[in-house]
Amino acid sequence: MITSNNYIQVGNKAPDFCAIAVHEQEFKQVKLSDYLGKYLILLFYPLDFTFVCPTEITAFSDMYSEINSLNTEILGISVDSEYCHLAWMQIDRESGGVGDLRYPLVSDLSKQISLSYNVLNNEGKALRGLFIIDKEGIVQHLLVNNLDFGRSVDEVLRTLQAIQYVQDHPDEVCPANWEPGQSTIKNNTNDSKEYFQSI
């Protein structure tokens, strides 16, 4: 069994990595540190050529323009090789592939990235880990699902918007189910009553 001594936590620096990714049918090297100054969604998933995975990978690609408009990039990561990623992208969606994606898929064949983010299971696959990393390289959100059920892209987008809102408005916090344009709470005892008296 592969084990990790890392304890990744919201509020801590995201572990850096350097790996080969596939984007637009080409291999390229990516480093986490290259994304400083932008928000980044790390999307771990178990394996290419499976069943739930293509639904998530393509759903995030379909929402890429909206996510990217928020100064945010996406990296998909699995323990497959870059050649496997390329082959998967060369198969259309109707045949179980993912087709052309709007963001890179990273090869974690050594499993070191999955290990450093504490999402590697006992079978050597990455759990469905999702991390939102801010412009300073700090983990602001993490979510880990087991293998058999996918994540909600809409909820990831909402969470990203909430993170960006509170970082831009440090005297405010977002209540449960907050959506852009809705009321927030002033981050002090007296002024917070305005929100609670309005609901």
* Residue 195: per-residue pLDDT: 87
Q: Is the dihedral of CA 106, 111, 112, 118 positive or negative?
A: positive
Q: Indicate which residue of 18, 53, 84, 174 is catalytic.
A: 53
Whether 179 shows a pLDDT value over 80: the answer reads yes
| Strand pairing category for 172-173 and 139-145 | unpaired
Q: What percent of the chain has pLDDT over 90?
A: 89
pTM to 2 decimals? 0.94
With the CA atoms of 130, 133, 137 and 140 taken in that order, what torsion angle do they form, in degrees rounded to the nearest 10? -100
Please enumerate in sequence order all residues whose Cβ is within 8 A of that of 117, keeping only pairs 6 or more positions apart, or say none. 6, 8, 15, 42, 44, 129, 131
* Residue 184: per-residue pLDDT: 93
Dihedral class, residue 75 (left if φ above 0, else alpha if ψ from -120 to 50, else beta)? beta
C-alpha span between 67 and 178 (Å, rounded): 17
Q: Which residue in the block uniquely carries the two structure tokens 């709007």?
A: 102
Kindly report, residue by residue over 56-88, the tens digit of the pLDDT: 999 999 999 999 999 999 999 999 999 999 999
The helix (run of H) or strand (run of E) holding residue 161 is helix 153-168
* Residue 6: per-residue pLDDT: 64
Whether 136 shows a pLDDT value over 70: the answer reads yes
* Residue 5: per-residue pLDDT: 55
Q: How confident is the model at residue 196 (pLDDT cuts 50, 70, 90)?
A: confident
Q: How confident is the model at residue 191 (pLDDT cuts 50, 70, 90)?
A: confident
Assigned CATH class of 18-151: alpha beta
* Residue 118: per-residue pLDDT: 97
Locate 142 and state its tokens: 């993490």
Kindly report, residue by residue over 4-55, the tens digit of the pLDDT: 556 799 999 999 999 999 999 999 999 999 999 999 999 999 999 999 999 9
Q: What is the mean pLDDT of residues 167-192?
A: 92
Q: Where are the chain's structural domains?
A: 18-151
Kindly report, residue by residue over 87-102, the tens digit of the pLDDT: 999 999 999 899 999 9
State yes or no: is 53 an active-site residue: yes
Q: Which residues of 102-128 are buried (b: 16+ CB within 10 A; e: fewer)?
A: bbbbbbbeeebbbbbbbbbeeeebbbb
Average pLDDT score over the chain = 94
* Residue 1: per-residue pLDDT: 42
* Residue 29: per-residue pLDDT: 98
C-alpha span between 147 and 198 (Å, rounded): 41
